[in-house]
Amino acid sequence: MPEAVVSTRSGAVLGHEEGGAFAFLGVPYAAPAIGENRFRPPRRATSWDGVRLAEEFGPIPPQPTSGIGSYVPGDPLEQSENCLFLNVWTPRVGRARLPVMVYVHGGAFMNGAGSSVLYRPKRLAARGVVVVTINYRLGALGFLAHPALADGESGGFGNWGLLDIIAALSWVNENISGFGGDPANVTVFGESAGAMAICDLLSVDRARRLFRRAIVQSGAALVSEPEAATRVADRFAQLLSIAEPSREILSEVPVDEILEAQRVINAEVDNGIGLPFQPVIDGGLIRGHPEDAIVAGASAGIDLIAGSNRDEFTLFSFGALAGRTFEAADLEALIGRYLRGSGLDEARARDVIGAYRSARESRGETISTRELLDAILTDFIFRIPIVRLAEAHAAHAPNTYLYEFDWSSPFAGGALGACHGIELPFVFGTVHDQLIALFAGGGEAAYQLSEAVQASWVAFASSGNPSNDITGAWPRFRVQERSVMRLGAEVGPVRAPREDEREFWARELGRYGFGGPIEGARRLGVGFLAPGEDEHSGA
């Protein structure tokens, strides 16, 4: 098997050739965030002598062992706080100055790892780019935030996982040239929570200097207010029988106890529909809402692709509602909970449902209760915030593009449609994996779509314009035309899809508000259910 040795700032690493690209796996980009390094910015990785074998993935961050998308057969399963590793795939080592793509995985800031089978990018790298996948701290270890954890170095009291992402990007900036990459041409791309993290970092000067372009898939900016994060941290300490949170005490808590407290918190916050551990306005790394900074033009120098999938929410409703009846009253109650969780008037749920029913009827579409649920929450959580992100960014940056992924999963007889995460196998080329194809679909049509998506992502990483010979020209996003590139069984630009629904939210909420979901998140309240409280439980 062909091998290659590359020198990094910490020492030399040995990789191996894999499907047209050299793979360097389990490379540490920071020191272990263990003990006294818990709830602190990541430290520089320790140097080593000789050549380090980079042929196995490092451990994944501590996380629950169940949850949507938490495992693909073949994923590494070993967990450890010593998890700050990255992986590099490159078609050519040495001074080739190829475009670099750094992937930030999703998983609700609670699950996932850069080593997942789903994200193995050998086919993407073989197209002439250097691809880096990373781990970062998750859950409480990555996003617990409390003034008692105030850190003089970062100036804040949270966002440890975001600081890890910045450290990984700094590693890329310092080392990627030896792997054939151009440190001045870095595209950061991510999905779901990974996309949210990237949007948050668009407001951070020292992060933004480390990349030139961004692709955000199914996620816009998301931060909690300091008061909400502090309430989560106080409840977390209570569950651990800690009177007052402190770094010294929390650094000694066993990881399994941390994960159990996370599980309880996750069930309690907004009755299980919120993200209890997430980036926070901590006065240090994030000093204000990222939405405000983007609207003001902070990210003007960054080329951007943003997009969502046609049926995002079906991934969540499919399991939650399996075998259950779901009536009109259930729909109204559940939509009301989501409105309330974002600081909006839950009494408007009936108006929202009526607007979506009318819009679907006008297009001759079916309007079952379940279809209305999926359509409303796909828009509320994903599409509308992403459209509004594109609106705000395009006002300052000409290279702004919007897509909609329109390929339906064959799983369960097609019940998932174009659900959350369906685009990932097409981006990475793992649609060729027989197990993943059970979810994504296989065959020539799927492979052709993957070729189109990869050609677009690579063209964008190379030049800031995703147009290519397969898809043709991508129109830039402008609010006057609202052109969107549709990626599915048919590929091509469409103008203003589902405009009635977008206009409904524009009337209700004003022009901006993509700090997810919708602008109510800037005043998000964290509600713990009282013991014995019986609130409608839905998806």
Tokens 């089978």 correspond to 117
Give the per-residue pLDDT at 518.
40
Identify whether the C-beta of residue 418 lies closer than 8 Å to the C-beta of residue 407. Answer: yes
Quickly count: other Cβ atoms within 10 Å of residue 435's Cβ. 12
Alpha-carbon gap, residue 357 to 346, rounded angstroms:
18
pLDDT of residue 70: 59
CA distances from 388 to 143, 191, 403, 493 (A): 26, 17, 13, 19
Where residue 373 sits, what CATH number does that domain have? 3.40.50.1820
Helix axes 499-509, 349-362, angle to 10 degrees: 150
Which residue shows structure tokens 């020209």?
473
| pLDDT for res 194 | 98
Q: Which residues contact 2 (CB under 8 A, 6 or more apart)?
A: 16, 17, 22
What DSSP character marks residue 323?
Answer: T
Inter-residue contact 212 to 184 (CB < 8 Å): yes
Does residue 76 have a cis peptide bond before it, meaning omega lies within 30 degrees of 0? no
How far is 282 from 184, CA to CA, in rounded Å?
A: 29
- How many alpha carbons fall within 13 Å on the CB side of residue 43? 14
CA distances (Å), 369 to each of 60, 362, 378, 395, in order?
39, 17, 14, 37
DSSP structure string for 418-444: S-TTTTHHHHHSGGGSHHHHHHH--SH
Q: Which residue has the tokens 């916050």?
A: 269
Pairing of strands 213-217, 492-495: unpaired
Residues of the domain holding 91:
1-539
Structure tokens at 321: 């509602």
Greatest Cα pair distance, the chain, in angstroms, is 68
Gap between the Cα atoms of 96 and 88, Å rounded: 15
Q: Which of 104, 98, 301 is nearest to 209 (CA)?
A: 301
Within a 10 A sphere around the Cβ of 247, how many other Cβ atoms? 17
Interatomic CA distance for residues 69 and 73, integer angstroms? 11
The total number of structural domains that make up the chain: 1
Amino acid at 96: A
Residue 33: what are its φ and ψ, rounded to 5°? -90, 70
Write the CB contacts of 227 (distance below 8 Å, at least 6 apart in sequence). Answer: none
Rounded Cα gap, residues 89 and 124, in angstroms: 9
Looking at residue 520, its pLDDT comes to 36
Helix axes 328-341, 349-362, angle to 10 degrees: 120
Cα–Cα distance for residue pair 29/134, rounded to 1 Å:
9
Report phi then psi at 93, rounded to 5.
-90, 165
Residue pair 370/311 in contact by the 8 Å Cβ criterion: no
As a whole number of angstroms, the distance between CA 198 and CA 299 comes to 11
C-alpha to C-alpha distance for 72 and 523, rounded to whole angstroms: 36
CA distances from 231 to 145, 202, 514 (A): 9, 27, 24
Going by the DSSP 8-state scheme, the letter that residue 528 receives in this structure is: B
- The amino acid sitting at 171 is W
Q: What is the DSSP letter of 381?
A: I
Q: Nearest CA to 283 among 149, 382, 471, 416?
A: 149
What is the rounded distance in angstroms from the CA atom of residue 234 to the CA atom of residue 243?
Answer: 9
What's the token pair of residue 501? 């629904």
Q: What angle do CA 176, 178, 183 make, to 5 degrees?
A: 35
C-alpha distance across the termini of the chain, in Å? 48
Q: Can you give the C-alpha Rg of the chain in angstroms?
A: 22
Print pLDDT tens along the chain (539 aa): 699 999 999 999 999 998 889 999 999 999 999 999 999 999 999 999 999 999 999 999 999 986 555 578 889 999 999 999 999 999 999 989 999 999 999 999 999 999 999 999 999 999 999 999 999 999 999 999 999 999 999 999 999 999 999 999 999 999 999 999 999 999 999 999 999 999 999 999 999 999 999 999 999 999 999 999 999 999 999 999 999 899 999 999 999 999 999 999 998 876 566 799 999 999 999 999 999 999 999 999 999 999 999 999 999 999 888 878 899 999 999 999 888 888 888 999 999 999 999 999 999 999 999 999 999 999 999 999 999 999 999 999 999 999 999 999 999 999 999 999 999 999 999 999 999 999 999 999 999 999 999 999 999 999 999 999 999 999 999 999 999 999 999 999 999 999 999 999 988 876 555 554 443 333 333 333 333 333 333 33
Q: Catalytic residues, which ones?
A: 192, 312, 420
62: CB partners within 8 A, 6+ apart: 79, 80, 81, 83, 138, 139, 141, 255, 258, 259
Distance of CA 144 to the CA centre of its chain: 18
Element (H, E) at 402: strand 400-406
